[in-house]
């Protein structure tokens, strides 16, 4: 597609899914890529069910996960299962230790970066423990940003939401490049300068950029290795 794929890590705690917020939950979002012709390319929900029902090893797994259903191997249940998996993809790291009161969790430079992040106004949109994912904002709020994507207005039909996108959360942002809704920026340094200019209308020094990127790197967290280990798929 024309948009940069957001990470599924921490997605379940966002206000909605996709850049334009067109789906309310990770369960609803899970259906989209499966039927998208440029992603999984399955033609219909029924076609998905036909494929899965043809793999006998899946049936007892679906029966165990969705007990009491006459036919548990359904597209809706596929989405529910994917959503259940994604709801535990919540990373934890030094940022969480800092939020819990550990004043030594962040180093001196990371603390300077957090101070700069707050001082120039980034927390107006990147708020809360997830540092984003909780609201929509116009791209080019202060200074117009060159782009053709109309954002959320393409879903709502509301012209007042022209160029609005869901504010991305910054947890593990250092590991999820390229950046922006169109994947047009390769580095966090570029992102900081662009956002300061177009969203805040404020200049940033090289030192502030370096410190804020150090802070963003501190937002990297981990998941239990066994939870994200490559599974042995039924029928393989």
Instruction: Indicate if 42 and 137 belong to the same structural domain.
Output: no
* pTM of the entire predicted model: 0.93
For the annotated catalytic residues, the residue numbers are 39
Rounded to whole angstroms, the Cα distance separating 40 from 30 reads 11
> Mind giving me the DSSP string for 137-190?
EETTSSS-------BTHHHH--GGGTTEEEPPP-TTGGGS-SBSTT--B--HHH
User: Does the pLDDT value for residue 195 go beyond 80?
Assistant: yes
Encoding tokens for residue 104? 């030594």
Instruction: Indicate if 202 and 117 belong to the same structural domain.
Output: yes
Q: Which of 22, 3, 2, 11 is nearest to 169 (CA)?
A: 11
Question: In total, how many domains does the chain have?
Answer: 2
Instruction: Indicate if 101 and 190 belong to the same structural domain.
Output: yes
Rounded to whole angstroms, the Cα distance separating 73 from 122 reads 45
Structural domain that includes position 99: 92-222
What CATH number is attached to the domain comprising 57? 1.10.760.10
Alpha carbon dihedral 21, 24, 28, 34, in 10-degree steps, equals 10
State which of 66, 86, 106 marks the end of a domain. 86
Instruction: Indicate if 176 and 200 belong to the same structural domain.
Output: yes
Which pLDDT tens digit goes with each residue over 77-121?
999 999 999 999 999 999 999 999 999 999 999 999 999 999 999
Average pLDDT over residues 194-199: 98
Let me know if residue 158 belongs to a domain. yes
Q: Which of 27, 62, 1, 106 is nearest to 234 (CA)?
A: 62
pLDDT of residue 171: 97
Which pLDDT tens digit goes with each residue over 31-75?
999 999 999 999 999 999 999 999 999 999 999 999 999 999 999
pLDDT of residue 146: 94
Instruction: Indicate if 140 and 166 belong to the same structural domain.
Output: yes
Instruction: Indicate if 51 and 127 belong to the same structural domain.
Output: no
Which pLDDT tens digit goes with each residue over 110-166?
999 999 999 999 999 999 999 999 999 999 999 999 999 999 999 999 999 999 999
Instruction: Indicate if 43 and 106 belong to the same structural domain.
Output: no
pLDDT of residue 2: 83
Average pLDDT over residues 212-232: 96
């Amino acid at each position: 597609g024309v948009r940069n794929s957001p990470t599924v890590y921490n997605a379940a705690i966002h206000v909605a899914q996709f850049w334009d917020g067109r789906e309310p939950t990770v369960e609803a979002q899970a259906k989209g890529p499966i039927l998208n012709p440029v992603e999984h390319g399955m033609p219909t929900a029924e076609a998905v069910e036909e494929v899965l029902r043809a793999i006998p090893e899946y049936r007892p797994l679906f029966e165990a996960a969705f007990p009491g259903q006459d036919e548990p191997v359904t597209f809706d249940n596929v989405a529910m299962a994917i959503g259940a998996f994604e709801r535990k993809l919540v990373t934890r790291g030094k940022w969480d230790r800092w939020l819990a009161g550990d004043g030594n969790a962040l180093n001196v430079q990371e603390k300077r970066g957090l101070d700069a992040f707050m001082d120039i106004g980034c927390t107006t949109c990147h708020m809360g423990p997830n540092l984003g994912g909780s609201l929509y904002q116009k791209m080019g709020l202060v200074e117009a940003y060159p782009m053709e994507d109309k954002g959320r207005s393409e879903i709502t039909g509301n012209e007042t939401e022209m160029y609005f996108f869901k504010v991305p959360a910054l947890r593990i942002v250092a590991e999820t490049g390229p950046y922006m809704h169109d994947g047009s920026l390769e580095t966090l340094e570029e992102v900081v300068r662009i956002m300061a200019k177009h969203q805040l209308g404020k200049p940033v020094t090289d030192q502030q950029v370096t410190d804020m990127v150090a802070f963003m790197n501190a937002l990297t967290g981990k998941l239990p290795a066994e939870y994200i280990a490559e599974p042995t798929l039924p029928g393989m």
